[in-house]
Amino acid sequence: MSIPEIHEQAEHKMLQSLESFKHGLTKIRTGRPSPQLLDTVHVEYYGAMLPLSQVANLSLLDARTIGVAPWEKGMGAKIEKAIRESDLGLNPSSQGDLIRVPMPAMTEERRKELTKVVRNDGEAAKIAIRNLRRDANDAVKKLVKEKLASEDDERRAQDDVQKLTDRMINEVDRLVAAKEQDIMAV
């Protein structure tokens, strides 16, 4: 493996860690409802567990309510049960073919708790990125040890990996700050 391949692989894995962190942030509820909040809910559909978005249309009805419109008539009760039993703490109610999912107002204490969760998730993402930096630097050192790269190449490669790491960590910090601001906004 060459130094450019090591750098490319490290960048790819760091971007994957960043995407995973971004995806995790969408599950953390802010004061505003979002249909993505229900992405983790799965419903039994003819013996298979499917994501809610594959059996119903999700939309915002108003500033505090998500609407779930099942595509099949008989799915309403199953969807309502799946939402109620999820770990999201939501209490849906049926109105004919439409299921209304009101979002409870968040207390100040809950908001502070969620910001701690966001910070912890951000720190975990940073640790993953730093571990990838270490792995890339170790791979470069191995090339130098095997006389496949010079020490100058090693220093340049480590500088490049460090710049990449700094960029990714700054992005994580930016995402954490934006999510905290979103959570604390009343």
pLDDT digits (tens, 9 = 90+) for 53-110: 889 999 988 878 889 999 888 888 889 988 888 877 788 988 888 999 888 777 788 7
pLDDT digits (tens, 9 = 90+) for 110-169: 788 888 888 999 999 999 999 999 999 999 999 999 988 888 999 999 999 999 999 999
pLDDT digits (tens, 9 = 90+) for 11-57: 999 999 999 999 888 777 666 677 877 877 889 888 888 888 889 99
Q: Cα 57 vs. chain centroid, distance in angstroms?
A: 22
> Which pLDDT belongs to residue 31?
65
